[in-house]
Amino acid sequence: AQKVTQAQTEISVVEKEDVTLDCVYETRDTTYYLFWYKQPPSGELVFLIRRNSFDEQNEISGRYSWNFQKSTSSFNFTITASQVVDSAVYFCALSDYGNNRLAFGKGNQVVVIP
């Protein structure tokens, strides 16, 4: 069974600080896909990244970076030099091969204080 755990429910940081969101997943499949989505107060889920289980390279996109470690079943997300516009709920999600369903974590509410 798929399971995604995002232990930190709400994280507050002061603007320009870095913030790291932890995501731990469980799956029995060897082929799977991991995602991060951002949900700002407007409600739309915005796709940030997709990573397959065979690609363990870390990725950086502007102020965002992701650290994928299969050994610890984690796919952590870091926002560097946070800005007020980063205030949102961030969801980590998992999909197994051959399955359209996304298993979402409970989300991390990030509050960036100016």
Q: Under the rule (CB under 8 A), what is the footprint of another protein? A: 31-33, 35, 37, 42-47, 50, 52, 91, 95-102, 104-107
Q: Which is nearer to another protein, 45 or 111 (CB)?
A: 45
- Residue (45 or 80) nearer to another protein, CB: 45
- 19 backbone φψ class: left, alpha, beta (φ>0; ψ -120 to 50): beta
Closest distance to another protein from the beta carbon of 110 (Å): 14
Rounded-to-integer distance, Cα 41 and Cα 81, Å: 20
Nearest distance in Å: CB 105, another protein = 7
* In the complex, least distance from residue 22 CB atom to another protein, rounded to whole angstroms: 16
Q: What is the DSSP string of 34-86?
A: EEEEEE-TT---EEEEEEETT----EEETTEEEEEEGGGTEEEEEESS--GGG
CB of 81 to another protein, least distance (A): 27
Nearer to another protein, 98 or 114 (CB): 98
Spatial distance between the Cα atoms of 52 and 8, rounded to a whole number of angstroms: 24
Q: Give dist(CA 79, CA 52) in Å, integer.
A: 21
Nearer to another protein, 31 or 58 (CB): 31
